[in-house]
A and B are shown apart, each in its own frame.
Chain A
Amino acid sequence: MNQKNRSAGFRLRLGHYGDVVHDRWLRTPGWQRWPLYAVLIVGALLLPSESVGAFMSPYTDWASILFFPIGAYVVLAIGLNVVVGQAGLLDLGFVAFYAVGGYAMALIGTRLGWNFWLILVAGIGLCALSGITLGAPTLRLRGDYLAIVTLGFGEIIRITARNTDAIGGPNGIRGIPHPPSLPDIELFGVKIFKYGVLDPRPYYYLLVALAVIVIILVKRWEKSRVGRAWAAIREDEDAAEVMGVPTFRFKMLAFAIGASIGGAMGVLWASKVISINPNDFQFLLSATILAAVVMGGAGNLPGVMLGAFVVAWLPERFRGLQEYRMLIFGAVLVALMTFRPEGLLPSRQRKAELKEGTGGMGSLGAEVPGPETHGEEVASK
């Protein structure tokens, strides 16, 4: 008991220091924050260096896994976070939009021969459209019904791609073009705009650029009227509706934005990998990204990115454990959720909600009192 208290006390203190730093950060004027952002971006760009890789991934090529799975998971998690963390809609089929983006790149690139940048725009549009198409009939469903429908949608997309010979069937599509190269530009010995097959770093830089743009956009939405509407929907949809928030429209918007981000990542990924096939878009990927979002701290962008990084990196780092790595990964997920149900880096609001015992997340929150809840407490609620 004593031991437990001590560790709890330690965690509380740690949390306190975290809060102090956080408070100071919130008080920092905007212009002072920019240097830190710049440092972070430069840090991200320097990541693929071999000295980092030797520690981070002794078993596979570090720059490669930095693009996929790590970078890709981070961007996908940011996208899913808009849907799950901000609007509170449980989406188990996020991989569908990633697939639509990937197939858009592959099909338009090989059949029509468009330029990568054009396809990127088209792919984002297509994914937003498919988000709306899925959302229109299903977003009136609540919570868990939405979960199974989105899961079904993800599977439908994959199986349809597999069964349709016109888009390659199970063979998928081969010979996907790369983004146009500028092979003459060289910085520190890296041809940063040469999109070949051997060096993954140019793609990684492109991914960092995409991630930065996405983060800026998502942050701006979060702080606008849209973000407040999402928060209202997440916490209590009925109340939000009564207060005059057009919930259906904002839910659609969340779906479309999440889908676009997933689609953009799909386009970028497909432009690197040369060939795609339907098996690249399994349900497990949806589940993994969702795990990343929740594990990192749904709703909090740095947390979500950290979660995605951990989920993508751990199995690669521990390749040395060979076949046991997925076993351990599963156990780590359970343990993390047990010890930090709010996620690694929860948003402040979530932390407060958890303290109050509602678990947060509105309709996704806890509804059953724990065994230690006593009658009076329940009654006082």
Chain B
Amino acid sequence: MALTLGLAACGNDGGTKPADGGSSAAASGTVKIGFMGDLTGSNAGIVIPPRNGAKLAIDEYNKTNPPVKIELVPYDSQGDASKAVALAQQAIKSDKIVGLVGPAFSGESAQVAPVLEEAEIPSVTASATNTNLAANGWKFWHRILPNDSVQGPGIADFIAGAAAAKTVFVIDDKSEYGKPLADAVRTQLGTKAVKVTNDSLDPAESDFSSVVNKVAASKPDAIFFGGYYAAGGNLLKQLRDKGVKDAKFFSGDGSLDKGLIDGAGAANAEGALVGCPCYIATPDVADAKVKTFADSYKAAYNTDPAIYAAEGYDAATVFVEAVKAGNTTTDKINEFLKTVDLGGVSKHVKFGANGEVEAKDIYIYQVKGGAITLLGKAAEAKLG
């Protein structure tokens, strides 16, 4: 028994090179947490806010001058899965991270998570919402927001319920994110006696006239777009320009960005509705904890917290709490994640056995006067 233990310890020492001080890290007082996502690519707009959020949490913690400090190491995958895997291997072997916030997107998560799983490094993603990710039996993978099969039906219920639409035109952008989300909306609408018409577009294009013509011909009560804000804004503008003025425009979390309003123009975007499993601290918020977060975020980055900023903050906070509780090795941190139970900024954080967070709230946002405002939880919100 003693012999095996000794061997195990030796094996560990051999694996973590003394120069890097992997084993002595706890004593010397710094552990590394990674953040992985598209930091310079074309969808960086929805990854920078969670990165900022995570950095804020770590900075706040380090300012308290704790015995063990945390260093946040950024890994810019540009959303490319093969780059993400190489970076993850670098993070594991050379940087010896003890945890990872990310990867930001579902595609890269599908490839990076198995690598982290084998290396036994816990991760918490703040924005990858693809449903299938949770079905792999990964023990070190966590997600701090509800997935698409919660988001899609949540929005669909709102479209058929509060918005009382009878005919809906559902468009997706054929991306790994937009297609499954739109499909979830389609399925849910199908159960509610709503007539659904479909089309898809290519987000690399800028002329969506063929889609717009179809929408104009079918005269729907509501339109749902599953995709990112860049294409969403152009689509919305072209719809309104083509005289599709009465149909309500809905979209999902990928369109929850000021870019949607910039792309469509404030007048065209007015009244557009966006669902999101995320909680954005809007200026009129009352909750003290959220308000503190919004203020310190604004102070640090000179901009209001945007999409997934609160989720990024919470994901990093989970690791901070783990380190605070004296866990500095990967398996101990993972044990901590299994039992964590704390009130975060975005939601109450508690992970289920498959790594999914237990809070399942979807929020509906509306564009009013050129700004995104919170309407409320999808199940409760009313259209004014």
Q: Complex Cα distance A279/B115, Å?
A: 21
In the complex the two chains form, is A280's CB within 8 Å of B111's CB? no
For B179, list chain A residues within 8 Å (CB).
169-171
Cβ of B174 and Cβ of A163 under 8 Å apart? Answer: yes
A303 within 8 A of B: no
Residue of B nearest to A275 (CB): B110
Report if A59 contacts B (CB, 8 A).
yes
The distance from the CB of A95 to the nearest CB of chain B, in whole angstroms, is 14
Which residues of A lie under 8 Å from residue B40 when comparing CB positions?
Answer: 322-323
Distance in angstroms from A276 CB to nearest chain B CB is 9
Q: Least Cβ distance of B194 to chain A in Å? A: 22
Flag whether B213 is at the interface (Cβ < 8 A): no
Tell whether B180 is near chain A: CB-to-CB under 8 Å: yes
What is the minimal beta-carbon distance from B241 to any residue of chain A, in angstroms? 27
* Interface membership of chain A positions 286-325, coded 1 if the CB is closer than 8 angstroms to chain B and 0 otherwise: 0000000000000000000000000000000000001100
Q: Which residues on B sit within 8 Å (CB–CB) of A69? A: 82
Q: Mark B109-138, 1 if CB is under 8 A from A, else 0.
A: 011001101110000000000101000100
Q: Contact at B118–A198, with CB atoms within 8 Å?
A: yes
Binding site secondary structure of chain B: helix
Contact for B111 among A60, A274, A323, CB less than 8 A? A274
A61 contact from B90, B107, B200, Cβ within 8 A:
B90
Given A64, A172, A196, which contacts B118 in the complex, CB threshold below 8 Å? A196
In the bound complex, residues from chain B placing their C-beta under 8 Å from that of A65 are: 86
Complex Cα gap A174–B81 (Å): 13
Residues of B within 8 A of A172 (CB): 107, 176
Complex interface: chain A residues within 8 A of B81 (CB): 273, 275, 277, 280
User: Which residues does chain A contribute within 8 Å of B118, judged by CB atoms?
Assistant: 196-198
What is the CA–CA distance of A323 and B38 in the complex, to the nearest angstrom? 12
For B82, the closest partner residue in chain A by CB is A68
Interface centre among B118, B176, B180 (most CB of A within 10 A): B176
A174 in complex: contacting residue of B117, B132, B180, CB < 8 Å: B132
A163 to B173, CA, bound (A): 10
- Among residues of A, the one whose C-beta sits closest to the C-beta of B118 is A198
B110 and A198 form a contact (CB under 8 A): no
Is A170 within 8 A of B176, CB to CB? yes
Question: What 1/0 mask marks residues of chain A from 115 to 158 whose CB sits below 8 Å from any chain B CB?
Answer: 00000000000000000000000000000000000000000000
Given contacts A61-B93, A198-B89, A273-B111, contact A170 B175 (CB under 8 A): yes
Do B174 and A273 touch across chains, with their CB atoms under 8 A apart?
no
- Could you mark each residue 86-103 of chain B with 1 if its beta carbon is under 8 Å from any beta carbon of chain A, else 0? 110110111000000000
- A162 within 8 Å of B by Cβ? yes
The yes or no answer to B85 lying at the interface (CB within 8 A) is yes
Chain A interface size, under 10 / 10 to 19 / 20 to 34 / 35 or more? 20 to 34
A311 to chain B, nearest CB (A): 15
Q: A61-B90, A198-B118 are in contact. Are A273 and B176 (CB under 8 A)?
A: no
Query: Is A85 on the interface with B (CB-CB < 8 A)?
Result: no
**Interface 0/1 of A58-81, CB less than 8 Å to B:** 011101110011000000000000
Contact of A171 among B82, B92, B93, B176 (CB under 8 A): B176
Q: Does A200 contact B (CB under 8 A)?
A: yes
Query: Is there an interface contact between A163 and B200, defined as CB atoms closer than 8 Å?
Result: yes
Could you tell me the distance in whole angstroms from the C-beta of B151 to the nearest C-beta in chain A?
16
Query: Is the Cβ of B87 less than 8 Å from the Cβ of A277?
Result: no
Given known A163-B200, A322-B40, contact A174–B87 (CB-CB < 8 A)? no
Q: How far is the CB of A320 from chain B (nearest CB, A)?
A: 12
Q: What residue in chain A is nearest B86 (Cβ atoms)? A: A64
B115 / chain A contacts, CB cutoff of 8 Å: 197-198
Can you name the residue of chain B whose Cβ is closest to the Cβ of A54? B94
Contacting pair A174 B174 (CB below 8 A): no
A232 and B92 alpha carbons, distance in the complex (Å): 52
A174 contacts B110, C-beta separation under 8 Å: yes
Q: How far is the CB of A359 from chain B (nearest CB, A)?
A: 35
How far, in whole Å, are A69 and B76 apart by their CA atoms in the complex?
17
Q: How far, in whole Å, are A68 and B90 apart by their CA atoms in the complex?
A: 14
Contact B90 A59 (CB under 8 A): yes
The smallest C-beta distance from A16 to any residue of chain B, in angstroms, reads 41
Q: Identify the interface centre among A63, A68, A170, A277: most chain B CB within 10 Å of its CB.
A: A170
Q: What is the CB-to-nearest-CB distance from A331 to chain B, in angstroms, rounded to a whole number?
A: 18
Could you tell me if A279 and B111 are in contact, using CB atoms closer than 8 angstroms? no
List the B side residues contacting A175 at CB < 8 Å: 136
Asked if A64 meets B176 with Cβ closer than 8 Å, knowing A198-B119, A274-B111, the reply is: no
When C-beta atoms are compared, the residue in chain B nearest to A64 turns out to be: B86
- What are the interface flags for B332-376 relative to A under an 8 Å C-beta threshold, 1 for contact and 0 otherwise? 000000000000000000000000000000000000000000000
A247 smallest CB distance to B (angstroms): 37
CB-contacts of B242-259 with A (<8 A): none
| Residue contact B110 to A200, C-beta cutoff 8 Å | no
Chain A neighbourhood of B76, CB < 8 A: 322
> Please, which residues of chain A bring their CB within 8 A of the CB of B90?
59-61, 64
Say whether, besides A162-B174, A163-B174, A171-B179, A274 and B89 are in contact (CB < 8 Å): no
Q: Do A170 and B89 have beta carbons less than 8 Å apart?
A: no
User: Nearest CB to that of B91 among chain A residues?
Assistant: A61
Point out the residues of chain B lying under 8 angstroms from A162, CB to CB: 174
If the complex has contacts A170-B176, A322-B40, are A273 and B119 also in contact, measured as CB distance less than 8 A? Answer: no
With a 10 A CB-CB cut-off, give which of A68, A163, A197 has the most chain B CB atoms: A197
| Alpha-carbon distance between A279 and B110 when the two chains are bound, in angstroms | 14
Q: Give CA–CA (A291, B168) in the complex, Å.
A: 47
State in angstroms the CA–CA spacing of A196 and B116 once bound together: 12
Bound Cα distance A68, B87 (Å): 12
Which residue in chain A gives the minimum CB-CB distance to B41? A323
Q: In the assembled complex, which residues on chain A have CB atoms less than 8 Å from the CB atom of B92?
A: 198
A198 to B86, CA, bound (A): 10
B119 in contact with A60 (CB, 8 Å): no
Q: Which residues of B contact A174 (CB under 8 A)?
A: 110, 132
Which of A63, A200, A277 gathers most chain B CB within 10 Å?
A: A277
Determine the distance from Cα of A171 to Cα of B105 in the docked complex, in whole angstroms.
Answer: 12
Determine if A60 and B110 form an interchain contact, defined as CB atoms under 8 angstroms apart: no
Question: In whole Å, how far is B6's beta carbon from the nearest beta carbon of chain A?
Answer: 20
Across-interface contacts of A273 in B (CB, < 8 A): 81-82, 85, 111
B132 to chain A, nearest CB (A): 7
Within 8 A of B (CB), among A190-214: 196-198, 200
A277 and B176 within 8 A (CB): yes
In the complex, the chain B residue whose C-beta lies closest to that of A269 is: B82
- Give 13 A-B contacts (CB < 8 Å), ordered by A residue: A60-B83, A61-B87, A63-B89, A64-B85, A64-B89, A163-B174, A163-B200, A172-B176, A197-B118, A198-B89, A275-B107, A277-B81, A277-B107
Enumerate the 8 nearest inter-chain pairs by beta-carbon distance, A residue then B residue, closest first.
Answer: A61-B89, A64-B86, A61-B90, A198-B118, A60-B86, A275-B110, A197-B114, A64-B89
List 19 additional A-B contacts (Cβ < 8 Å) besides A68-B82, A275-B110, A275-B111. A60-B89, A61-B89, A64-B85, A64-B86, A170-B176, A170-B178, A171-B132, A171-B179, A172-B176, A174-B110, A196-B118, A197-B114, A197-B117, A198-B89, A198-B92, A198-B118, A273-B81, A274-B111, A280-B81
